[in-house]
Every structure is written in C-alpha cells, then in structure tokens.
Structure 1
Amino acid sequence: MVQSEIKPAPGQPLSQRLAELAKVFLKLGTIGFGGPQAHIAMANDEAVVRRQWLTSEQFTEGLAVCEMLPGPASTQMGIYIGYVRAGQLGALVSGFCFIAPAFLIVVALAWGYFRFQGLPQINDIFLGVSPVVIAIILAFCWKLARKTLKDIAGMGIAIAIFILTLTTAINVLIQFILAGLVGLWWFRPRGTDSPIRNWWIPPMPLLLAHLPADTLTLSSFWGLERIGEFLLPLTTFFLKVGSFIFGGGLVIIPLLEFEVVEQLHWLTQTEFINGVAIGQLSPGPVVLTAAFVGFKVAGVLGALVSTIAIFAPSFAFIMLAAPFLLRARKNPWIQAFLKGVTPAVLGAIAAATLPLLRTTLAQPTLFYSIMSGVMGLLALVALIRYKTPTWLLVPLGAVLGLIVGLLPT
C-alpha cells in the first residue's frame, strides 16, 4: 500500500466511516479474548469478509508490516485498518476504541487486586493463575524457539542474551540493540560489507535507574498526589518499552521485570507476576500490564499515562511511516537486524521467567508449592500439546486455585 491507494468509500462521508470504525473496534476490544491471533482473525472477519474495507491482499500486506514492527501486532493491525479506511483520524479512532475496553477492565482488576490483596480468596485465585501465566510464557518461548533457532548464530545470540540477562545489569533494550547489530553483520546480504563495519559505536550507558530503598507503596485511586512526580518517569519508561516490543506482547516481560521490579522497585516480584496475569485476563493485548504498573505507581492517572506512552510508538509507526515501511520491510538489512533481535527476545524472556518461576513456586507451605507446580505443568501441556486457548486456561487456573485453597494442608 502507498498513500495514493488509500481511498474513501464512494459516497460515504468521513463521519460515517469513523462511526463504523468505532463500533467495530469497540466490539472487538470488548470481546477479543484469546490473544493476538484471535484478535487478528476477528479483525479480518470484520474488515475483509463482512465489510470489504480491505482486500485480502491489503490485509496480508498490512499484517506483514505489523509483525515486523515493535509493538503488539493485533493493536497495530487495528490502527492500520482504520488508516486504510479513514486516514489518520481513522487510525486514531480504531486504535483508541480497541484499547479502551481492555484498559478499563485492567484498571478495575488492578483496583480490586490491591484493594482486596490481603484476603485469602485473592491469594488462592493467584495461587492458580500465577503458574498458568508462567506456563503461557514458557509455551511462547517454546514456539518462538522452534520458529527462530534454525542456525548456530541464532542459538548463540539467544544463549548469550540469556546469560547476560541473568548475570549482568545491562539494560535489556541495549542487549536487543547489540543483538540487532550482530544480526546486521552475521545475516547481511552475501557479497556486501556490513553497514556497521566502519561505524564507531560510542559507549552506551546502562540506563540504570536510581535504586530506592524500599518497594513503592500503593498510590491513591486517582493518583493526584503522585502524578506530578511520576509523570515524566512513567512516560519516558513506557515510550522506551513500547518502541522495543519485538516478537509479540510477551516481550514486555523481561523489559518490565528488569526495571519495575529490580531497578525502580515500583512492584514486588509477586505483584509483577500477578499484574501479568491480570493483563492476560483482559480482552486486549498483554502489554496493558503497563496500566497495572501505572495504577500501582500513580493511580488511574498513572495507568492512563502508562497506557498512552506504551501505545504511542504503535500509532506513530502506522500513521506516519506505513507507506515507507511497506517498501522497507523487504530490505535485506532490516531483515538482518530483526534476525538478530528475535533470538535475543527469546533469551531475555527465558531469563526473566526464572525469578518469576521461583516466586510462583515459593508458596507458604510445601503442599501449595507442589500444587502450584502441578497446575503449571498441566497448563503447559494443555498449551503445547492440545493448543488450549489462554482465555480459557487463566480463569480455569483461578478456579483450581480456589479449590486448592479449600483443601486441608
């Protein structure tokens, strides 16, 4: 698609097209359980099959661009459909309407989680949900490994990033950039010199945050007393994260875990894994875990700022650069960079999962630890062997957690 190919529907005013986009994507944002592949399938059914807003070729081409970009592909696909249908305003309307319902759900669940955190029933729910989330992450790693680890270079990058993430304080984003540079050299088009051969790469800062002594306490509901102090940190941090979510929404796990738990101390390890679980419970992309983090830091206002910041790069990529990206996605140098980043994503996620797994298994009693491990293994088998959808497993884990909580220990 190039800019000249974006044509309004004949005889249909812009206001009507925007209203149709709002209606469709509010519906998808409300009922879109099942993860990004389910979102994309539903968007294809609405935009291509039912309404003929796009041809199948346009949809496939747009999906290829969205999967190349950092950020949640399903959300970007919604933005892209709105862009094709009604230009820049259409992109804004479709993206906002797709994100808004899940944002409200995550904020409501975050409020409920922190409000009733001490109740035994809440602990029992997350006793079952947390191992399911770990299984979802591990199943994602398994699928990504089968897809990307096809040569010794990819395996080497994944192992190197895994070790670096576990043993050093180097920011994960810097690790991704370095892996991409390795990809530029190793996967470069044969018979050409790497564009980084003669570059001088200046020393890169580790981007380590100031380490507070204790984990941040919970904000008030609206966060008015904190938003002034945390507006800039939340904005800059989530803009950075939103610009580097290569390979799917679960890439947010190592990016967030490294900083919000270990460096910034905004969340505890337990709060973080439960926040990821809440992100899985919503119909939107898992990157809405950012809203959970923002709520802990600065209430509803913090959740809003975090959500806007993490999705802003997705809007910018589609609205400002879509025509260029459709041409650039076949560039061999871009493909080489991404071939370096993708196994790095796998290594970083695998490394970040280990402390989350330890936290999940470290239950108050041996019985609960064993049951947590069993539920995680069952969920992993269900995901890999039987392709059970995550939207079914997470509530099932919550029910099993409540049942286990009733058993005598």
Structure 2
Amino acid sequence: MSQPPELDFPAVEPVQESLSARLSELARLFLRLGAIGFGGPQAHIAMIHDEAVVRRGWLKEEQFLEGVAICEMLPGPASTQTGIYIGYLRAGQLGALIAGVCFILPAFLIVLTLSWAYFKFQGVPQIEDLFLGISPVVIAIIFGFCWKLGKKAIKDWQGLAIALTVLLVSLVFRVNILLLFLLAGLAGLVIYRPTAPPPAGPSPRTSAWLAPLLPITQGIPNLLANLPADPVAVSSFWGLDRIQDYFVPLSTFFLKTGAFIFGGGLVIIPLLETAVVDDFGWMTRNQFIDGVALGELTPGPVVITAAFVGYKVAGALGALVATIAIFTPSFLFIMFASPFLVRLRRNPWVKSFLKGVMPAVLGAIAAAAIPLSVAALQQDTLPRTAVAIAVGLAALIALVQFRRPTWQLVPAGALIGLIAGALT
C-alpha cells in the first residue's frame, strides 16, 4: 500500500497505530461528518479542520492550509477533496479512498431516497407546493453564489469583460461550456501573464500524467443520437432495464463534468443544465431545478445532484454510476497527483490560467440561472407566481445581507410553499 510522500513541510509526529485502526477511525469520522455536514463547503472544511487538526492532531496547521489551497485550485468539490486529502496524509491511498467514500455515502443515500420519493409522488399537490417555495430559494442560492464569486473572481475590467462575454455567448449561442472555460483560461494566460520569469516548468513526467485526462476534454462521443427528444420517462427503482443502454453515456458525461467543476459545487449547474435538459432530454427544466434543490437539502456537496439525474435516467444503478463518475476525478487528483499539485499551485502560469477561468465560471452560472429562474418563478397562476418571486427575493436578501445558511433557507421555503399552496 502506498504511503503519502513528503510535501515540503515538517511531518506530523508519528502515531503508533496500525493501518486498520487508522482506516477504521477515518471511516467513523467521515461517515459522521457526511451525515451532519450541513452548511456548505466552508462549513464542511471547518468541521474537518476541527476534527483532524484541533481534536486529533493528525496534521499541523500549515499542512491543512496547504491541502485546502490545493483543493480550492482543483476542479471538483473542495470540501470533499479536503476529506480525501486528510485520508491520504493519514493512511495513504486507501485512507483517501475510505475518507472520501464515507464522506459522500450519507448524501448519496439521502438523495437516492429523496429521488425515489420525488418521482414516486410527483404530481401530488403537496409535493408541488413544497417546490413552490423550495425552487425560488435555490434560484436565490445560485444568484447569491454569483455575488460572492463575483467579489472574489472579478478584480479588474478584464475579468468583468470575460464574465460578460461568457454570459452573452452562453445565452445567444449554443457553445460548449468547457470550450468557453478553456478559451477564458487562455485569455488569462495572455492578460495576466507573469511579469517575472517563471520557475522551471513541469518535467516531461507532467505531460505523461496529464495525458490520460486529455480525452475528458473532448466532446462526448455520439452515443446519444438515438435517444428521444422528449424527456425520458422515469426509470424503475433499480434501473435494470435501462442501465445497459445508459451506462456509457452517464459515466462519460459525469466523468467529464467532475473534471471541470471549477470554483465550487454550484458550477455543476451550467455544466448540467444545458446537457441534461436540452441536449440529452433526460429531464425537464423544472425537474432539474428540483434536483438541485434536493442536492441543497442534503448534508453533502451539491454535486450529489448527479445522483438525482442518474436516478431519473436509470434508477438506483444510474444514480450510483453518475455519482461514482462525477467524484472519480477528485479521487484521482488527490490520490495520485498531490506531490505534483503542491508544486503546480505555485506556478505563476497556472495562476494566470485560473484567473481567466474564474470570471468565465461566473458568467456561465449566471447564464444558466436565467432560464432556471423562469422555470422556478413562472407558475400557473398569478398568486403562485407572486409567492415564488417573493420567496426568491426574501431568500436572496437573507443570503447576501444577513448571511443566513442555505440549510435554514431551504426548509423555510418548503414551509412557506406548503402554506401558500394551501391558500392559493
């Protein structure tokens, strides 16, 4: 079993524990954190810090901060990758696998259960009333995220220009989002190029390490040409009748998506919305926004929305395939590339590339949020539309002005929706 390498800082005092004991403790800890981890990625990271650094002393403060910085640089959910990183330092690659799986598992089981209930009882008035209040809250969460990301990503007029360009191009033309991210990164290399000579570039081994990931950047093979234009019907619970046809499309699409979630979990929205609604016809736009809402209801990362999509397409097996695929890049980056990533994070050319990508992420999320807003706010009657707009505005104010956590706002929106639905 491989052991974690030296990572440029003093090692933690050795702990005289067997590998099995360390793995068992990692499993218990991250199962618990995965079950109670409400509050978003920053809350997750704070809880991991408290348990791993403060309470258990598994690693030093500088090691933890270095790990968080690496995970923030990478595509994928930063909090999940932080857990994988802690497991890697604690017990090698097997520790990374155990920590990550245990952190994701509670959210996966919750979303699987909620997905079954959603599609089982879809059309029941009370369910529709619930999402009358929940969906506008999710729209507020998306725009609140755009506001926070904007303050972080846009520091000058060039960044604003990149964000607006991606926003307009995404709205007017059907351009691949990943291509826009790549072009924005190349623009960042030009606009924000280092003024001082950069350190020695990556070794030839770097290209060899990146080579297996290059096919991910290509378009999905034409595996979906014969799929129906209308949204597919809901699968059976296990999806045994569907998984053979949809295994490759689900795994290919979500593997690619997981490799390009730059800037936080909500980046999944522009990557998913156009594909699963318009291109593949896997679900309606209302179903998609409801799936994002269910992802917000869970204690885990919002990218677990992939399980909702997978369940609609191919039942529980489809949910499992989609979840494994979307998290696989995170495991690969941490388990096999951590020493390289420590050096890569300090490379000024990498920083310039990411400085161009981040405004593009903002523009893409804003572009995806506009049609989703129409789907969430435009109801079948004027009173219900007024309720949805009011809930969305109130949730946005609560997020931006009063910094209320999302795990409080989503249930509150559900309650308001039930009450308003009964009255209208």
TM-score bucket (shorter structure): over 0.9
Within the candidate set 398, 410, 417, 1:394 is matched to 410
The answer as to whether partners of 2:235 and 2:311 remain within 8 angstroms in 1 is yes
Amino acid at match of 2:411: P
* Residue 101 (1) aligns with residue 106 (2): yes
Query: What's the CA shift for 1:7?
Result: 6.9
- Alignment size in residue pairs: 399
**Which amino acid counterpart does residue 350 of structure 2 have in structure 1?**
I
Query: In the alignment, is the contact (CA less than 8 A) between 1:82 and 1:91 conserved in 2?
Result: yes
**Are 1:216 and 2:232 matched, yes or no?**
yes
Q: Partner amino acid for 1:3?
A: P
Q: Percent identity?
A: 61
CA shift, 1:168, in A, is: 1.1
Find the partner of 1:262 among 271, 278, 286.
Answer: 278
Correspondence for 2:210: none
Q: Structure 2: which 5+ runs fail to align?
A: 202-216
Partner of residue 137, structure 2: 132
CA drift of 1:107 comes to 0.4
Residue in structure 2 matched with residue 366 of structure 1 by the alignment: 382
**2:352 alignment counterpart:** 336
Q: Does 1:116 align with 2:121?
A: yes
Distance 1:181 1:311, change over 3 A: same
Alignment partners' CA distance in 1, 2:196 and 2:113: 56
Alignment partners' CA distance in 2, 1:114 and 1:134: 21
2:321: which partner in 1? 305
Q: Which residue of 1 aligns with 2:366?
A: 350
CA drift of 1:188 comes to 0.8
The two structures, once aligned, show a CA RMSD in angstroms of 1.8
> What is the Cα deviation at residue 365 of structure 1?
0.3
State the alpha-carbon separation in 2 of the partners of residues 393 and 184 from structure 1: 39
Note if contact 2:44-2:79 (Cα within 8 Å) is conserved in structure 1: yes
Partner SS, residue 241 of structure 1: helix
Shift of 1:170: 1.1
1:251 partnered with 2:271: no
| Structure 1 residue aligned with 2:20 | 15
Match in the other structure for 1:188: 193
Alignment check: 8 A CA contact 2:141 2:396 kept? yes
SS at the partner of 1:4?
Answer: coil
- Find the residue that maps to 2:6 and give its secondary structure: helix
Cα distance change, pair 123–18 in 1 and its aligned pair in 2 (3 A): same
1:3 to 2, 5, 8: 5
Offset of residue 213 of structure 1 = 2.1
Take 1:348 and 1:292, find their aligned partners in 2: how far apart are those partners?
Answer: 22
| TM superposition score normalised by structure 2 | 0.91
For the 8 Å contact 1:170–1:206, the answer to whether it is kept is no
Separation in 2, partners of 1:84, 1:10: 12
Aligned pair partner of 2:97 in 68, 92, 97 = 92
Match of 2:36 among 12, 16, 31: 31
Amino acid aligned to 2:177: V
CA distance in 2, matches of 1:8, 1:24: 20
Aligned: 1:274 with 2:279: no
Q: CA deviation at 1:10?
A: 2.9
Mapped to 2, the partners of 1:4 and 1:102 lie a distance apart of: 33
Q: 1 CA distance for matches of 2:143 and 2:238?
A: 35
Question: Shift of the alpha carbon at 1:4?
Answer: 3.0
